[in-house]
Amino acid sequence: MYSLALAIANAVVSEGMVDMETMEAASKSGRRAPRALDVAAVAGVSTATVSRTFNAPEKVAPAIRERVLAAAAALDWIPHAAGSALARRRSYIAGAVIPTLDNEIFAAQVGAMQASLAEQGVTLLLGCSNYDQEQALTQVRAMLARGVEALAIVGEAQKPELFDTIAARRVPYVVTYGYRPDSPHPCIGFDNRAAFHRLTRHLLGLGHRELGVILQPVAGNDRVAARLAGVREALAEQGLGLRPQHLREGPWSIAFGRESLRMILNASAPRPTAIICGNDYLAIGAVLEARAMGLAVPADLSITGFDDVAMSTQIEPPLTTMRVDNAEIGHLAARDLLARLSGTTSPSVPPLIPAFVERSSTAAPRRYDFAPAGRYLA
């Protein structure tokens, strides 16, 4: 903690916010967790002022308030707003951080998790990261400051400080929507790599050899990175690869699905005969754009989705996709956290297996090219 605090302090002292000598002394005072007393010493105020800064900031002069906040950030100190609850060792509050409020799959998880926690008198706080690791860290810190006693975080791809902060507070947590056997975190979800390996094998089994892929951004998203790895792995098993011009990453929207399909099909030959989409919304956009381009799905182009959202059965043709029991993820996450809060050793939760749902958006390609030139080795 010393090196991090010292670096931050060097930055803020240049602005005259905190006293550098006091900061260094506080940092070297030991390896114990920082306290409000340390923040007060660094900021040159009383502990009462520190308390007011976080609990009644309107009662503190702006300059002093900024000095206290800078000192707290430098020491990585988080106030315990739920002090009385912590004294009882229970706050009966849990937190969940999800990437977005716009996607029904996360709503299903949160709804099931909230219902399971409520049965034991635990209230759920919800935070949204907007697929931003910094926002996720901010949400977690805010929840810990309010005394949450358990956390559920979507995905492993987070800033290291996020898990360090949780560990320092000794708060039980689970990572949802992902699973890998060698993960250092307790995971409740499914193997994204295996799921997209399965989808790709389905298309290869139909005879497709040129595939396109439309995904959400891979950077900072371990679930999407695993999905792309599953596609590449299945192709490599057949001596095939994914052409760079046939891969598109962007927002998980119908509009991006449409835009991406047109760009992939207008790229240099050979054209893909099948498109794998990172979720059903992208796939729906691809189906709509194929129709606008005068292509028949699946006669001219096969398209797969993922998640099996309600709209996937309403589009024509209905989507071949994979169904994930998102409510079960929420239920299992709540059960695991409740068990650990009660002091019970929670058994390891095996990965969920997404169900392959074959509908009418996939079929054998109209033409099958066995020529070596039709292959692209990645």
Number of domains present in the structure of the chain: 3
Cβ proximity of 112 and 330 under 8 Å: yes
Is 81 a domain residue?
no
Is 80 a domain residue?
no
Q: Are residues 92 and 138 in the same domain?
A: yes
Return phi, psi of residue 376, to 5°.
-135, 115
Q: What is the pLDDT of residues 325-364, one digit of tens each?
A: 999 999 999 999 999 988 887 677 888 999 999 999 999 9
Q: Give the pLDDT band (50/70/90) at residue 110.
A: very high
Q: Are residues 270 and 302 in the same domain?
A: yes
Return phi, psi of residue 179, to 5°.
-155, 135
pTM here? 0.71
C-alpha torsion 259→265→266→268, nearest 10 = 140
Residue type, 21: E
C-alpha torsion 265→268→271→277, nearest 10 = -50
Contacts of 373 (CB under 8 A, 6+ apart): none
Residue 173 — left, alpha, or beta (φ > 0 → left; ψ -120 to 50 → alpha)?
beta
Residues spanned by the domain of 231: 192-323+357-374
CA 219 to centroid of chain Cα atoms: 11
Is 94 a domain residue?
yes
Percent of the residues in the chain that have a pLDDT greater than 70, as a whole number: 85
Percent of the residues in the chain that have a pLDDT greater than 90, as a whole number: 57
More confident residue, 223 or 1: 223
Q: Give the pLDDT band (50/70/90) at residue 89.
A: low
Q: Are residues 153 and 54 in the same domain?
A: no
Q: Give the pLDDT band (50/70/90) at residue 313.
A: very high
- CATH number at 300 reads 3.40.50.2300
Q: Are strands 355-357 and 321-323 parallel, antiparallel or unpaired?
A: antiparallel
- Predicted pLDDT at 370: 38
- Predicted pLDDT at 6: 39
Q: Are residues 315 and 345 in the same domain?
A: no
